[in-house]
Amino acid sequence: MKLLRHGPRGQEKPGILAGDGTIRDLSAHVSDIGGDALTDAALANLAKIDPMSLPIVAADTRLGACVAGTGKFICIGLNYADHAAESGMAVPPEPVIFMKATSAICGPNDPVIIPRGSTKTDWEVELAVIIGTKCKYVSEADAMGHVAGYCVANDVSERAFQTERAGQWTKGKSCDNFGQVGPYLVTRDEVPDPQNLKMWLTVNGTKMQDGSTKTMVYGVAHVVSYLSQFMTLHPGDIISTGTPPGVGMGMKPPQYLRAGDVIELSIEGLGQQRQEVIVDLV
């Protein structure tokens, strides 16, 4: 299934993508795409519904983040060896963990907002994992059973905030609209091998990133198991698993986003995002 959330920001309703490409409303069957609705049993019940029997949603309706109630937005850094190289950093001996503020989460086509004082706002297409059931100290062999599904994420980053100012990476990752997720939560059964997905990103029509999850250093099962050794993972938590090469910081000379730019990004089978870049005027 391809589950989604549609409607104005803060008022999203649950939905599903039907086989004919239309969006259908799931409000009569589930209150939202999050929490207990992410268990295998709950997803199996939703799978029994014929999407074509559901009310149709206007094609131009805004899509929100594809999961609700996210308590943690966890990111894995330098998880592609070739991206680590372009960043001038070594492949880490264990996954690098940092947090992205949940207030950065937004819809897949909501704008990228360049924050006040930014000079180096950058893009990162990433495979995001959405946790379906609570897990703690889970083994790698059992980790995938706690995954509800996957989605596309744009881990937008302000590199000067991230690497040139004192402290950790979080402040360069957490600005408003620095976390587009969706358009769909694609359930685990539709992604038999998350380590073999093509992924790409363009800026103004020029391809910047063209990679595959094949080149991840630490795969999804390892990452879920690893994180669960340090923190309990809860339904709706998002794990963004790293980006392939081609980010602006790695170019010679570096290239960063400017107002008016258009970003498009996709991962095989998970849908596509499109964002216009604007400046924060608040």
Give the start-end residues of each E strand in the chain: 2-6, 13-17, 23-25, 56-57, 73-77, 96-99, 105-106, 112-114, 121-122, 125-131, 147-155, 157-158, 179-181, 185-187, 198-203, 206-212, 238-240, 262-267, 271-279
Look at 87 and 267; give whichever has higher pLDDT.
267
- Residue 170 placed within a domain: yes
Residue 27's H or E segment, with its range, is none
Sole residue written with tokens 């630490």: 218
Structure confidence at residue 166 (pLDDT): 77
Residue 246's H or E segment, with its range, is none
Average pLDDT over residues 243-252: 94
Sole residue written with tokens 């059992």: 142
Of 181, 168, 59, 84, residue with least CA distance to 129: 181
The percent of residues above 90 in pLDDT, for the chain, comes to 90
Question: Can you name the residues that pair with 207 across neighbouring β-strands?
Answer: 202
Structure confidence at residue 254 (pLDDT): 95
Average pLDDT, the chain: 95
Strand-pair category, 206-212 with 96-99: unpaired
Q: Is 43 within 8 Å of 148 (Cβ atoms)?
A: yes
Model confidence, pTM: 0.96
CATH of the domain at 200: 3.90.850.10
Of 138, 160, 148, 196, residue with least CA distance to 38: 148
- Residue 1 placed within a domain: no
Task: In whole angstroms, give the CA distance from residue 139 to residue 222.
Answer: 9
Structure confidence at residue 164 (pLDDT): 83
Quick one: CA torsion of 245, 87, 129, 190, rounded to 10 degrees? 10
Of 30, 40, 41, residue with least CA distance to 5: 30
- pLDDT single digits (tens) 5-53: 999 999 999 999 999 999 999 999 999 999 999 999 999 999 999 999 9
Cα distances (angstroms) measured from residue 156 to each of 38, 120, 144, 166: 26, 11, 26, 19
Structure confidence at residue 169 (pLDDT): 85
- Residue 257 placed within a domain: yes
Structure confidence at residue 163 (pLDDT): 81
- Residue 25 placed within a domain: no
205: which 2 tokens? 């029509």
Task: In whole angstroms, give the CA distance from residue 93 to residue 81.
Answer: 12
Residue 92's H or E segment, with its range, is none
First to last CA, the chain: 38
Structure confidence at residue 5 (pLDDT): 98
- How remote is the C-alpha of 221 from its chain's centroid? 17
- pLDDT single digits (tens) 73-104: 999 998 998 777 777 778 889 999 999 999 99
Work out how many domains the chain is built from and give that number: 1
Domain of residue 233: give its range.
Answer: 65-279
- Residue 263 placed within a domain: yes
Strand-pair category, 198-203 with 206-212: antiparallel
Structure confidence at residue 87 (pLDDT): 73
Structure confidence at residue 4 (pLDDT): 98
- Residue 70 placed within a domain: yes
Instruction: Tell me phi and psi for residue 51, to 5 degrees.
Output: -55, -30
Length reported for the chain: 282
Look at 162 and 178; give whichever has higher pLDDT.
178
- Residue 57 placed within a domain: no
- pLDDT single digits (tens) 111-153: 999 999 999 999 999 999 999 999 999 999 999 999 999 999 9
Name 243's Cβ contacts closer than 8 Å, sequence gap at least 6. 79, 80, 83, 124, 125, 126, 155, 209, 211
- Residue 45 placed within a domain: no
